[in-house]
Amino acid sequence: MTLVNDAALHRYRTMRRIRSFEERVGEMFLKGETAGSMLHLSIGEEAVVGLTDHMTDGDTFTTHHRGHGVFLARGADPMRMLAEIGGRDVGYCRGKGGSMHIADRGLGHLGANAIVGGGIPHIVGAGITARNTGSGAISVAFFGDGAMGQGILYEAMNMAALWKLPVVFCCVNNQYGMGTRVDRAAGKQDFPARADAFGLRAARADGADVEAVQETARAIVDGARDGQPGFLEIDAYRFHGHARMDKSPYRTPEEEATGRKRDPLATARTALDDDATLDTIDADANAEMDRAMAGAIAATAPASATMFEDVYDPTTAAPQPQRARLAAVLGERP
């Protein structure tokens, strides 16, 4: 087997792990084991691995609603991720961040953000740090097409270009912002042209083909490390609704069937043409995520006494529960 195929198999394995993980997120929701219902799956967007494949230790990133796959690709522990989604104490944020606020600075994850585009400006700060320290690191903001309508993105791109920061803006265009199709939200859908206008190196890649993403992302990432900020649009299709409970009534069955033909895993399987090896990878990924889900479900919720830990400065006295405050007030009355 060639080195090229070894690398391609690695990317397929990562995508398969992401797909299996997201399927377990949906299963945990149906079992009533998730902390809330706002779970946004990245199924159909796995080719983002083509960009994360170029990231190295020391690089940082921010994610958005559908950031599970990016975090997994950057080395996250799937059990701790599922535990966080389930509100368990062993989760990355001790069950307090959940799906949309998960973070781990040790892996370079500067945080997911439930505000559309909210995490984008963070990479500008990270980029300034990397430039000033000469670390050679880059910082990447992952966001959806909905963020292309947010002003903070354009301010961030302008600052990145002006200060020649080692950053990459990655728009995973899955065609929908909640229930609004992209052509109903963007007057001009040439997103790379918008980035180019600010002076960024910009490109678009086919999100149904991880190898195409990987090849296109190479120049973007290399340029960012040399102080030329970049923008990459990954053209994908969101297989499921906006959140786990959204049944996509705004899409026809015919559209969904056509969109799901743009499956990056199916494209990769066809290109690799090694069913026996790929079947083993699939089985391994499913077994790994089954173990992770079982571990997350078995984990305990954080004790109520820890509610305010990691929220205030450690030297700050813990707030009193409302019941205790009321009892103290009532106890002072004659």
Q: What is the mean pLDDT of residues 176-183?
A: 85
* pLDDT greater than 60 at residue 333: no
* The pLDDT value given to residue 332: 61
**Would 320 be classed as within a structural domain?**
no
Residue 334: its pLDDT value, please? 44
> Are 124 and 131 contacting, i.e. CB atoms less than 8 angstroms apart?
no
User: Which domain, by its residues, includes 57?
Assistant: 3-304
Q: pLDDT per residue over 220-267, tens digit each? A: 999 999 999 999 999 999 998 888 778 889 999 999 999 999 999 999
**CA proximity to 43, closest of 236, 233, 226:** 236
Banded pLDDT at 27 (limits 50, 70, 90): very high
Answer whether residue 29 is part of any domain.
Answer: yes
Q: Please tell me the predicted confidence (pLDDT) of residue 53.
A: 97
**Domain-located, residue 315:** no
Each residue's pLDDT tens digit, 123-178: 999 999 999 999 999 999 999 999 999 999 999 999 999 999 999 999 999 889 88
pLDDT at 241: 86
* Any domain includes 275: yes
Structural domain contains residue 331: no
Q: Residue 106 domain-assigned?
A: yes
Q: Return the higher-pLDDT residue of 165 and 99.
A: 165
Domain CATH code at residue 159: 3.40.50.970
What pLDDT shows up at residue 2?
59
The tokens 């994360």 sit on which residue? Answer: 52
Number of independent structural domains in the chain: 1
- pTM for the structure as a whole: 0.92
Q: What single DSSP character describes residue 104?
A: B
151-167: string of b/e by CB count within 10 Å (b at 16+)? ebbbebbebbbeeebbb
Using one digit for the tens of pLDDT, what is the confidence trace for 263-272?
999 999 999 9
Task: Read off the pLDDT of residues 197-209 as tens digits, 9 standing for 90 and up.
Answer: 999 999 999 999 9
Is 265 a member of any domain?
yes
In a domain, 38, yes or no: yes
- Confidence grade of residue 196 (pLDDT, cut at 50, 70, 90): very high
Q: CA 5 to CA 10: how far, in whole Å?
A: 8
